[in-house]
Amino acid sequence: MTGALTIVGLGPGTPDWITPAAQAALDAATDLVGYGPYLERLPEREGRVKHASDNRVEVERAAHALRLAAEGRKVAVVSGGDPGVFAMAAAVFEALEAGPAEWHAIPISVEPGITAMLAAAARAGAPLGGDFCAISLSDNLKPWEVVTARLAAALAADFVICLYNPISKARPWQLGEALELAAKHREADTPVLFARAIGRPDESLRVLTLGEATAAAGTADMATLVMIGASSTRLIAREGGESYVYTPRSVAKSPCATSQGRT
């Protein structure tokens, strides 16, 4: 078998955030497999075939990529952001486990990308400076009761919480419910980020209070990363833009605690 499969993270938007290793995998591919809008970000090239599909057929897409690789093709499965974060890497291995034994001989590698929460955090300052977690609000693959149970546990543990897949046309209410749950654990002035399309020409970053964010839940979409601050998350006002947002590395109350001890 001479085929191979690489799962590639394209980052959140700008080509500047595609790693050299990910770009090399794209350049070496004979076939690109992915969700249509992600494939549209990549230029056409003679001899390289694009296989586009809808956003709700991840395992089927992965199985198609594995079949191509089994036929001897050099396949790149593309994801936005990082392929291992709520994305195609898990789908590929799920399809591999369920597929024929001969697929196990296919060389498979994963090239990481910048995931949305890291891009959003970089734009805002350092909101992920302390402990944090990521939760997908989509209930396509898990019950909503599981989502809310995990969210409640993360809120009780006082993590900064990054919410992926916050809202869609089919799920217009879930972000509002999640933020209402957050309000039971966090103060109303807790910083919340609405980071939309970071790294793309239409990007926007809003720094809201939790109270404002709950009222504004309907303005988010699937391109929005929502980040709920911890009780220690702080704002630094600045002229000409949104406040800097950061979470101290220390749990001490002093805002200067992180300058003490090792770095």
Whole-angstrom Cα distance, residue 235 to residue 243?
6
Helices (H) and strands (E) counted in the chain, each on its own, are 8, 13
What does the DSSP 8-state code read for residue 136?
E
Q: How far is CA 152 from CA 135, 167, 171, in A?
A: 11, 18, 19
Residue of 117, 125, 122, 115 whose CA lies nearest to 247: 125
pLDDT for position 186: 95
The pTM of this model reads: 0.90
104: DSSP letter: G
How high is the mean pLDDT of the chain?
93
Question: What is the CB neighbour count within 10 angstroms for residue 214?
Answer: 19
Provide the token pair at 141.
Answer: 């693959």
Rg (CA), the chain: 20
pLDDT tens digits for range 194-250: 999 999 999 999 999 999 999 999 999 999 999 999 999 999 998 888 899 999 998
Alpha helices in the chain (DSSP H): 20-28, 36-40, 58-70, 88-98, 116-124, 144-156, 174-182, 210-215
Helix (H, G, I), strand (E, B) or coil at 51: strand
Report pLDDT digits (tens) over 30-68. 999 999 999 999 999 999 999 999 888 999 999 999 999
Q: Residues 132-136: what's their mean pLDDT?
A: 98
Q: 3-state SS of the chain: helix, strand, coil percent to 5?
A: 35, 25, 40
